[in-house]
Structure 1
Amino acid sequence: MATHPHPKRPRGRRAETPAAAPVRSAPARKPAKRAPGRPNVDSPDQRTRLVDAALACYVRQGIVATSLRDIAAEAGVTPALVHYYFGDAQQLRDSVIEERLLPVFQSVREPLTRVDADDLAALVAGFVSGVFRAVEAHPWWPALWVREVLSEGGALRDLLVTRIAPEFSRMIAQRFAQAQARGQLNADLDPRLLLVTLIGLTLFPAAGAPIWRQLFQADDLGMDDVRLHALALLDRGLELKP
């Protein structure tokens, strides 16, 4: 029986085997991009810092003249971060009003609502002392008051007229009128102007302190001296009677 010889392999060559398919690793997932201005998860909350920076700019250069870029520079952050927290300049301004300005007014007004309606001396002393306590705690208040309320075009004038002052002003004027009707107050005074007088003896001297201290070389006079001066003038001018 004939046999077939095995085919000879070419010398020097090995039998070829199918090549294994290369193993492909999954593409690395790229980290999600943060929106411009969005802080890292572990970043500290910058909101309070931005409100304080906005207030500092408002006092120094005025509300209308202050841009978000100015506030960002004051706080040492990017304008995009300011946008992240507040959206726009109006929202930031509203936050400053709600969180910084209104609490100051409330700190003066609220204690006066608890004073006995017949005790005009306590009402006057409470207003004067309350204003100077607020000035001591918030030295920026008088300058901002003059710039943004009293000055023509001030950005806070409408806020004062429509929201802050109406009810409080009427309450003070009514108490002065009632005391005058009882013969407890100088009859030559107009009750409607007395609140204006109280402000003129408190906020104005506080706002003008750098000027009158320089004019009269009066660096030795502090706000408590101004408070006592105002109370002495009012005590004699109002001619309060028990």
Structure 2
Amino acid sequence: MATSNKHAKTGRRAGRPSGDDLDLRTHLLDAAIMQFARVGIGATSLRAIATEAQVTPAMLHYYFGDKQRLVQAMIDERLLPVFGPLRAQLEHADGDPMVLIESFVRGIGAVVARHPWLPSLWVREVLCEGGALREVLFRQAIPNLSQMLAQRFVSAQADGRLNAGLDPRLLVVSLIGLTLFPAAGAPIWRRAFGAEGLGPEVMLQHTLALLGRGVGAAGSGETA
């Protein structure tokens, strides 16, 4: 008896959707990345992703083959594309270091708003020892972006437009620490301060004020 199930067709290459397949494949990737951000890549099974997506594990095998290829699809189609637009935005930013810094802070804020899973995934899979994405990020994304930023700061420092006491490389580290870390820890610090109303825009303005004016009183001059 012939089957009407479109997923019964054969000869299909995993990860190459067409037509209506694309919507379901997108849904499956969304479910996978939410699970990865929530409990980690290593602790997430295909069955858990299938449960999240409300499909059978066989459906995941149909679209991705196995977990390794699913993770690679997530890297290629979700993670790495996050950094392309941000890099382009920073490359076209003004040479003034504060303009570049503000562009980075606002750019990360926009990325997190579009991809709220990124900070948690970053902490779990890049910062933590043994994280599944550390080498991927170092080989394919971080060097290009971080080195470009550091070089821009080196040039600004040479022109006398950036504090000579700063290490341009560590300034990049500080920028990441003031953007991705607070976003990843938001559930904790919001609860600690009873500050559920502190949204992304408040955090953005706080970070820019801290980077631009430090912790001195607004308008105060330097002390002897």
Into which bin does the TM-score normalised by the smaller protein fall? 0.7 to 0.9
What is the CA–CA distance in structure 2 between the aligned matches of 1:236 and 1:133, rounded to whole Å?
23
User: Map of 1:128-143 to 2, 5 A cutoff?
Assistant: 128-143=105-120
CA contact under 8 A between 1:72 and 1:78: conserved in structure 2?
yes
Return the match for 1:65 from 25, 34, 43.
Answer: 43
- Per-residue deviation, 1:236: 2.6
Return the match for 1:104 from 75, 82, 103.
Answer: 82
Aligned residues, how many?
Answer: 204
Look up the equivalent residue of 1:153 and give its one-letter code.
Answer: G
> Which structure's CA Rg is the greater one?
1
- Per-residue deviation, 1:173: 0.7
Partner in structure 2 of residue 5 of structure 1: none
Q: Which has the higher helix share?
A: 2
RMSD (CA atoms): 2.1
Deviations 1:175-209 (A, max 9, x none): 11111111111111111101100011111111111
What is the CA–CA distance in structure 2 between the aligned matches of 1:141 and 1:80, rounded to whole Å?
27
Partner in structure 1 of residue 2 of structure 2: 31
| Runs (5+) with no aligned partner, structure 1 | 1-29, 238-242
Give SS of 1:185's match. Answer: coil
Deviates more, 1:135-144 or 1:100-109: 100-109
Residue 49 (structure 2) pairs with residue 78 (structure 1) = no
User: Map of 1:1-242 to 2, 5 A cutoff?
Assistant: 30-31=1-2, 38=8, 44-45=20-21, 46-116=24-94, 118-237=95-214
Taking structure 2 as the reference length, what is the TM-score of the superposition? Answer: 0.84
What is the CA–CA distance in structure 1 between the aligned matches of 2:2 and 2:195, rounded to whole Å?
63
Give SS of 1:172's match. Answer: helix
State the identity as a percent: 56
Taking structure 1 as the reference length, what is the TM-score of the superposition? Answer: 0.78
Deviations 1:14-61 (A, max 9, x none): xxxxxxxxxxxxxxxx426979x6379xx9522111111111111111
- Per-residue deviation, 1:149: 0.8
